[in-house]
Amino acid sequence: MTIIADSHRAWTVDALDAFVDSLDARIQRLLSEIKITPVWQAVTAPDADPGLIRLVMREVYLEIYSYQPHVISATIAIIGRMPKAEARMISRMLIHQAEEADHGEMALRDYIALGGDEKFARSRRISPESFAVASVWWGLWHMEDPFAYLGALYPFEGLTPIVSQLARAAIKPKGFPGNALEYIDFHAEEDIKHANLVRKLLKYAVKNYPTAAESIRHGMEYFLAVYPIPVWMAAYGRALCAQESGG
């Protein structure tokens, strides 16, 4: 069997679909890894402690608030490196990021609803795990082909609605406060639309730019090396400490 490199492949409709399917398969493998982590079990297990669920989610929201502004700034910079002839593509990318711009504040509202301290959240140093997340996005801007951006973006948009729906189904029956579900409720629905948008952008990029497929694959792996498991496990560790100290 002859293996054709991505950069020399004739990207038919079927080939483009197969490429995106391979990215979806990677996300499904990641989901399987997530489901066996202690943090996921602490939130979704049938016998999960409602008090610990609140503490874990509070700390997860704090992480989201911490990295999200940096991600937005970096992604806008990356989009600025896209081929300038692609005005329509650039416009769609920028509109998408504009829609994401306040999601850190959305997570902060949920953090506060779970008893988090707004002053602390706004003044604390970013955690090492969220620093790593932010650093990947700035690294993509500084060191990589801009199309790697789409590879890193796809798990954000493709994984988030899946885990949001699963988490919501697990925590709502346990009395999780409705006023602390803004972020989860929004992303359980809206990110389905965003994932579809990113799929279209992926296919367009791969079809029209020979090196984009390889860049996209690398971009995804760069991001998955630091997200979501390391970030969520850091939140889980703090939640356990808070539980032990009564807060």
Q: What is the pLDDT of residues 150-202, one digit of tens each?
A: 999 999 999 999 999 999 999 999 999 999 999 999 999 888 899 999 999 99
> Tell me, what's the pLDDT at 55?
98
Residue 4 lies in a domain: no
Residue 110 lies in a domain: yes
Residues 201 and 146: beta-carbon distance below 8 Å: no
Number of other CB atoms surrounding residue 241 within 10 Å: 12
Residue 14 lies in a domain: no
What b/e sequence results for 107-142 when a residue is b if at least 16 CB atoms lie within 10 Å of its CB, and e otherwise? bbbbbbbbebeeeebeeeebbebbebbbebbbebbe
Residue 2 lies in a domain: no
Mean pLDDT of 119-130: 98
Residues 171 and 104: beta-carbon distance below 8 Å: no
Residue 33 lies in a domain: no
The number of distinct structural domains making up the chain is 1
What CATH number should be reported for the domain holding residue 103?
A: 1.20.910.10
What is the pTM for the complete model shown?
Answer: 0.93
pLDDT band at 246 (very low <50, low <70, confident <90, very high): confident
> Tell me, what's the pLDDT at 144?
97
Task: State which residues form the domain around 146.
Answer: 46-242
Residue 232 lies in a domain: yes
Residue 26 lies in a domain: no
Tell me the CA distances in angstroms from 206 to 20, 192, 195, one per residue in order: 10, 21, 16
Residue 147 lies in a domain: yes
